[in-house]
Amino acid sequence: MDEENTTLVVQQYLDELVVIEGNTPAEHLIRAVLSRAVRRLQLLCGALLRRSYPRLLRPPTNVQTDEVLSAVVERLLKAMREARPGNVRQFFALANRHIRWELNDLARRLDQQEHRAQLDESLIPSPESSGGTLSPDAVRMLDEIDNLPEEEREVFSLVRIQGLSQAEVARLLDVSVKTVQRRLNRGLLLLTEKLADLQQLPSAQNDATP
């Protein structure tokens, strides 16, 4: 399968990066990793954009997946000059963080534009919207997700935020679907304890089918 080939080739490039010491030029290897992984990165960018930042898809921003992808690739080019993920799992965890950071930056800029427009037009601020910008509760939830143990945070982010199926996550992490389900459920339990007052966490049942 193409996805399996991609994983193998990306891992080969990452292995070469790990053994490079000092200031040895590695730009060509970093670009090779990103080039091979670009389709998966595009899917991750699109999934998070549609799922958690739908307002960015509408005017005035009209953000396109390829725009986010381009910005994320630039971020990763810089990040991987210092950060050297040792395996495919660590590489996509790094990519996920930069995708979220890029979309958060876009959302903040949209908030600033709307705030300036409201001041210029002497408008009364409208009620908080549920689509696109991040509410305080959403920021709190993202912070708590970041504080999960590594395995639970990784699975929760891929399934509940990026929108991958449990079977896709199992293949990506090279574990069983049962292991993915177990980590997802542990993550949900931990988040439920931390965010009990919100009572808005999604159920894992929707992802029970591989």
The Cα–Cα gap between 56 and 49 comes to 8
| Residue 71 near residue 106, CB atoms below 8 Å | no
Task: Give the residue extent of every domain in the chain.
Answer: 1-128, 135-210
CA 95, 96, 97 angle in degrees (round to 5)?
90
136 pLDDT tier (thresholds 50, 70, 90) = confident
CATH code given to domain 135-210: 1.10.10.10
- Give the tokens for residue 73: 């690739």
* Tens-digit pLDDT profile for residues 37-77: 998 899 889 888 888 888 899 888 899 999 999 999 999 99
What are phi and psi for residue 164, nearest 5 degrees?
A: -75, 155
pTM, 2 dp? 0.62
